[in-house]
Chains A and B, each alone.
Chain A
Amino acid sequence: MRTDVQGHALAVLSKVAQADWPDRFKLRHPFEKLLYTGSRSSFRYAAARGGKSKVPRVVSSDSLFDLSLSDEQQMLVEMLDSFASEVLRPAAHDADAQAAVPAELLIQARELGLAFYGVPEAHGGMAGERTLVTNALIAEALGKGDLTLAASLLVPLSAANCIRRWASPEQQAQWLPAFASEQGAEPYALAVNEPAVLADPQRLQTTARKRGGHYLLNGEKSLVLQGLNASRLLVAAQCSDGPALFWVDAASKGISRQAEPAMGLKAGALARVRFKSVKVPAEQRLAGADFDYSAFLACSSLAWCALAVGTSQAALDYVIGYCNERVAFGEPISHRQGVAFMVADLAIEIDAMRLMVWRACARAERGESFLREAYLARVLCAEKAMKVGTDAVQLLGGHGFTKEHPVERWYRDLRAIAIQAGGLHL
């Protein structure tokens, strides 16, 4: 096992070393730095695990209020920041117009090894004991490039997280290694959202009835992120003993899918997925001992919130530049309080969103109660992210209304934060 972990870390390293795109985007240096420490820490864990079974991770103190990131988190954020600005942002406009993530981008994202952060060391990945804050930072950094592209690229990591958190050890051993493999896992999607008005993900309309060694799934999922492309679905359905998650082959009989274009998230290949008496073997029900559906939903909404923080920050950065350059009535518009105060308000609310998300994640990864914090984070992010979206368009005036600028896309995408349940998972 020890060689496995080291081996996988080395595999990522060599794959990126061979790729040429990091050079094109001036990403090689930050990349290598990160992979160096990433693999180095894997080696450290591997070595430590050889000796004792439970060695605590090197983390910041749990007794002092502390907002600082670890060195590794800091490097990861820097690297993904450049990936977001050099790779995601330039691709975003066309991806939105063509309603698809460019194939090349999917390959690059796999080479980044993001899914590794969702797979435990035992299965060849890099997920340690505490992962939620790091995952939120990943989402935030990518979200600065583009919300929809970031969301789409995070689906494999989300699926791995979901399996690691909520599946039994046997199921993990079966499904997780693929995520840390050379070619990556089959495309997944997390299907939770339902189409009914006032749908409540705690009271699912999709049902799973036990019939001998199988469950029969019936129902309908909507706005499933990357749902059109997925060959594996993680489906939330109501059982007689409460809500549950199922690992479902998307090619199963009784599943039909169609594109479900929406206001935004266009590149996300959103799908309406129908289940008609779909037979799912009982052993494909996620059976982690501490399965907690409410916590699953919370980890999902936190992922969307973290993305929203990143995209909102991007919008703020964008309007700051614009308002300083745009001249009206003989002065930059940023010299007017009506403009400047809107900008200040965006900054206030974005930092508020960020702290709410971080706190919920930090509590969750320490194993403390976090449903309240995640709920309130979502309440705040849903409202403020949309405020950012609409104010960003406003500050660009008529120009903001056109596709010349990314703000109209962010406006459409940020509307999703209040709506999405499932799809992603920190």
Chain B
Amino acid sequence: MYLETPKKFRALENQAHQVAAQFFRPISRKYDKAEHAYPKELDLLAALLDGMNEGSPNAVGATSASKRGAAREVEEGIKNGGNLSALLGVMELCWGDVGLLLAMPRQGLGNAAIAAVANDEQLGRFGKTWAAMAITEPGCGSDSAAIRTTAVKDGDHYILNGEKIFVTSGERAKAVVVWATLDKGLGRAAIKSFVVEHGTPGMTVTRLEKKLGIKASDTAAISFVDCRVPAANLLGNPEIDVQKGFAGVMETFDNTRPLVAGMAIGVAKAALDRTRELLSRAGCRFDYRKPLLSVSHAEATLYRLEAEWEAARLLTLKAAWMADNKLPNSKEASIAKAKAGRVANEITLKCVELAGAAGYGEDELLEKWARDSKILDIFEGTQQIQLLIIARRLLGKTSSELK
């Protein structure tokens, strides 16, 4: 049993930490203020990371978290692969800035979806295309099976109609992976995902949201009006398989949920580190010996937060480790996301409180982290949706029994 960062990923972890400290932190506040301005510094970084990705399959980035990545490894025994390395990288980068990580070119969730379900021909065409992910609509978010955007086959094209909201990097990315239904009457099985490239007639970005946090990351509303998409851009199987249809599109999430948990762990660590520094300057001592009852309230609070943080971190590493070793991890991925999401939110908010006026003011980044963290308990499945998934598994319930 070994629950530390594996040796072979320590260099990567350190590299990601350097990027976070030297690249993200200095521009963190700047893009919190300049909402919707594109962080041009990221282009250079993305090029750098692309280079590193080519040099090593274990380099930083969301796209390495795919089942393919794990499948390529051939050695026997316990594996530490793409899921774990991507997670470790994400944790460190988000210690720098979650918004900037989300804004990174070619690291979007759309790319993770393509990496997970595209065929080889599609991988060739879109493997290097920056792709956003568009599932959510004005009328449905959590209930993603209820989407109303339609795709109608017309020759060797599909015609898309509908409205998508909250698309991360929806304007900046070169393409968007869009969920649409082939037949509203057939429910989940009829939902397919399509790669739609910007510039396709009928696709329009209608709005960019103004938000509580992660302002460096743009959030777009996109409308599709008779938008013709080549049939070859449908990811996965075009047939409607009532038996397992939805599983295909949902598969992506077992791999990406631990990554979002990793983002939460990264930002929470930032807040913990800074708060410990500030409290230490104010005379607090942390030696992990005195009983919780005999230390100051501030010290005890930080210990508690740190324990919660470690717990979330280990749960998330576990989910990624299971994915790398091809163990079914749907429940564990949700456990990681649920725990990390709520713990990160609690930690960042408490750290503002612990640091008092300094924590609340804009001279420090603590108040920003407390705003940034909230989204991590919402997107990729809210806290409640994760609890539903976990509870259904534990109790052996279907989605019609436990709604």
Contacts and interface: CB of A to CB of B under 8 A. Distances in A.
A198 B300 CA distance: 14
B289 A375 contact: yes
B292 interface: yes
Interface in A276-324: 294, 316, 320, 323-324
Given A68-B1, A347-B394, A63 B314 contact: no
Contacts of B332: 351
Contact of A379 (B304, B384, B402): B304
Nearest to B322: A67
Contacts of B289: 202, 294, 371, 375
Contacts of A61: 2, 78
Contacts of A372: 288
Given A337-B388, A358-B1, A347 B335 contact: yes
Contacts of B321: 65-67
Given A67-B321, A202-B290, A376-B303, A355 B395 contact: no
B79 to A, nearest CB: 8
B8 A334 contact: no
A324 B398 CA distance: 13
Nearest to A377: B307
A356 B7 contact: no
A352 B315 contact: yes
B315 A64 contact: no
Contacts of B308: 380
A198 B293 contact: yes
B335 A348 contact: yes
B5 interface: yes
Contact of B290 (A200, A323, A373): A200
B391 A344 contact: yes
Contacts of B290: 200, 202
A353 B315 CA distance: 10
Contacts of A352: 311-312, 314-315, 339
Q: Give the size category of A's interface with B.
A: 35 or more
Nearest to A133: B1
Given A63-B8, A67-B318, A379-B304, A341 B384 contact: yes
B314 A340 contact: no
Given A323-B395, A337-B402, A67 B1 contact: yes
A362 interface: yes
B289 to A, nearest CB: 6
B2 A362 contact: yes
B1 to A, nearest CB: 5
B4 interface: yes
Contact of A348 (B6, B79, B291, B338): B338
A233 B314 CA distance: 37
A334 B391 CA distance: 9
Contacts of B291: 198, 200-202
Contact of A356 (B314, B338, B388, B394): B314
Given A133-B1, A335-B401, A372-B288, A355 B78 contact: no
A246 B308 CA distance: 36
Interface string A47-71: 0000000000000111111111100
A383 interface: yes
A256 to B, nearest CB: 27
A359 interface: yes
A351 B334 CA distance: 12
A337 B391 CA distance: 9
A355 B318 contact: yes
B6 A65 contact: yes
A322 to B, nearest CB: 11
Interface string A335-347: 1010011011101
B148 to A, nearest CB: 26
A66 B318 contact: no
A352 B3 CA distance: 13
A124 B156 CA distance: 77
Q: Which of A68, A294, A340 has the most CB of B within 10 A?
A: A340
B111 to A, nearest CB: 25
B7 A63 contact: yes
Nearest to A341: B387
A106 B303 CA distance: 39
Contacts of B243: none
Given A351-B315, A352-B315, A69 B387 contact: no
B45 interface: no
Contacts of B5: 65
Contacts of A335: 397, 401-402
A67 B3 contact: yes
Given A348-B315, A359-B314, A63 B6 contact: yes
A340 B310 CA distance: 25
Contacts of A198: 291, 293-294
Interface string B366-403: 00000000000000000010011011101111000111
A377 B6 CA distance: 21
Contacts of B292: 379, 382
Contact of B395 (A63, A334, A359): A334
Interface string B292-333: 111000000001101110111011011001000000000010
B311 A320 contact: no
Given A358-B1, A359-B3, A379-B307, A68 B387 contact: no
A340 B392 CA distance: 8
A355 B311 contact: yes
B314 A65 contact: no
B221 interface: no
Contact of A200 (B294, B307, B318): B294
Nearest to A346: B394
B150 interface: no
Contact of B390 (A133, A202, A347): A347
Contact of B307 (A60, A337, A363, A376): A376
A382 B293 CA distance: 12
Given A323-B395, A343-B395, A379-B292, A60 B335 contact: no
A110 to B, nearest CB: 28
A64 B10 CA distance: 11
A376 B401 contact: no
Given A61-B2, A198-B294, A355-B318, A334 B307 contact: no
B288 A356 contact: no
Given A324-B395, A341-B384, 20 more contacts: A61-B78, A65-B2, A65-B321, A66-B321, A198-B294, A202-B291, A324-B396, A334-B397, A334-B402, A340-B402, A341-B388, A344-B338, A345-B387, A348-B338, A352-B315, A355-B318, A379-B303, A379-B307, A380-B307, A382-B292
Q: Which 5 A-B pairs have the closest CB atoms?
A: A352-B311, A340-B391, A355-B314, A344-B390, A375-B288
9 contacts: A334-B397, A337-B388, A340-B388, A341-B388, A343-B394, A343-B395, A344-B390, A371-B289, A380-B307
Interface of A: 60-69, 133, 198, 200-202, 294, 316, 320, 323-324, 334-335, 337, 340-341, 343-345, 347-349, 351-353, 355-356, 358-359, 362-363, 371-373, 375-377, 379-380, 382-383
